Structure 1
């Protein structure tokens, strides 16, 4: 089995800490693993209101890929909102990415701007109470209106409904405000290209019991981009916490194909 280098990218309001169970499992399987905090996440010193664009938010991942030698390739794993971080760097460093794994993650296509995925997500979740106690705040800047979001305990409970009480408390302790960067996602300049983004092999991992990004919408995203699919049966939105060994096995299987 060839040694692979997995780079793990967390979702909104989370940080590199959420991979604490998966990282040693992949390492014990003989692989190299890097888990990164995006800007204003985990222990990254930036504040969310200092960020204007998705690229700003992705800067730690951009810097990491820039530092890699040209002959090294990585397997990117993006969870939830982390799919947008993946799409950003796939457009910039497609030659350094062996596979991009979208783990119940927002996956844009190259026919539309990334906002298309958000529009469809809102259509699929029209209920007023979908976001429960998530706090949304606008920066008030008329030129670059960044709306931040901060998951409350009820919403985190929905994401963690098959995870342990201890991991729920960990999330409650370490969560930080984030953003969907929707104001940036609709701009024409953010549209992805088939030549770069589209050239990277993509695999979508479906979490069957996900209540945050429901299975039907995950399937729609995978079909919308015609990508390979793997499924984690019985997984909630946080499979790296609720079933880390199953996720490890899935990622190793993808890497070995």
Structure 2
């Protein structure tokens, strides 16, 4: 079976995959969930983190080819890592995630969306180093998740370093030469579903999928997400 590398999005960590990992294991797969620098249990100070640190963390976490699954902003770092060392990646899966072209950044891709639903949910730190989600986090990120899962997420959300989201990728085309899949979440209140479909449009129709879930399908319906990832892995 397959090995999945799970890459979280803004302000999250490996903790967000806690319900998906056992579901993938039950289907015979191995799942590796990582903390990007300054996230989760990683102690790196946020002022020291840039996009290259995310890329290095991804590449150092695997030594055999994986199916990488990136959530939300994690799609940018995943794409850069796969472009750098494509032999480590069997497939890239964008889970309601930003899919960059050369020169894009998380910030530029967010601004290119049809609307900016997350802006009101974000509070920028006075020092300009990080931002955090405010009391709108549940409404924007977890509206269909079980109460216990929402409590777990809200207790673990951390500050998001701003610099890695402003730094642009430099792509050779190697990443886009890899097999890719996109999972649109049709009830997403963070990245508009129509914008997700636009980012996915370059992929073959059979590699584009939709789930009637929020921005956090790994907590809303981990079994359903695992079924879809299992189907993707089986080709």
Equivalent residue number for residue 67 of structure 2: 75
Superposed, 1:98-137 pairs within 5 Å as 98-109=90-101, 112-115=102-105, 118-126=107-115, 130-137=118-125
| TM-aligned CA deviation for residue 163 of structure 1 | 0.8
Deviations 1:176-220 (A, max 9, x none): 1113534312xxxx32111x2122111001111011011101001
Q: State whether residues 49 and 139 of structure 1, in contact with CA within 8 Å, keep that contact through their aligned partners in structure 2.
A: no
| TM-aligned CA deviation for residue 96 of structure 1 | 1.5
Equivalent residue number for residue 50 of structure 1: 48
Equivalent residue number for residue 191 of structure 1: 170
CA distance in 2 between counterparts of 1:91 and 1:5 reads 19
| TM-aligned CA deviation for residue 79 of structure 1 | 0.4
| TM-aligned CA deviation for residue 60 of structure 1 | 2.3
Q: Gaps spanning 5+ residues in structure 2: where? A: none
Range 240-249 or range 153-162, more displaced: 153-162
Tell me, what secondary structure is at the counterpart of 2:184?
strand
Whether 1:149 and 2:131 are equivalent positions in the alignment is: yes
Whether 1:93 and 2:85 are equivalent positions in the alignment is: yes
| TM-aligned CA deviation for residue 166 of structure 1 | 1.6
State TM-score, norm by structure 2: 0.91
Give me the CA root mean square deviation: 1.9
Alignment partner of 1:253 out of 221, 231, 235 = 231
Q: State whether residues 65 and 89 of structure 2, in contact with CA within 8 Å, keep that contact through their aligned partners in structure 1.
A: yes
CA distance in 2 between counterparts of 1:191 and 1:205 reads 24
Whether 1:231 and 2:213 are equivalent positions in the alignment is: no
Tell me, what secondary structure is at the counterpart of 2:39?
coil
Deviations 1:59-78 (A, max 9, x none): 3222113xx1xxx3110000
CA distance in 1 between counterparts of 2:77 and 2:30 reads 20
CA distance in 1 between counterparts of 2:203 and 2:98 reads 14
Q: State whether residues 37 and 53 of structure 2, in contact with CA within 8 Å, keep that contact through their aligned partners in structure 1.
A: yes
CA distance in 2 between counterparts of 1:50 and 1:157 reads 31
Deviations 1:9-48 (A, max 9, x none): 1111111111111100110111111111111111111121
Q: State whether residues 76 and 99 of structure 1, in contact with CA within 8 Å, keep that contact through their aligned partners in structure 2.
A: yes
Q: State whether residues 39 and 59 of structure 1, in contact with CA within 8 Å, keep that contact through their aligned partners in structure 2.
A: no
| TM-aligned CA deviation for residue 139 of structure 1 | 4.8
Superposed, 1:153-164 pairs within 5 Å as 153-164=135-146
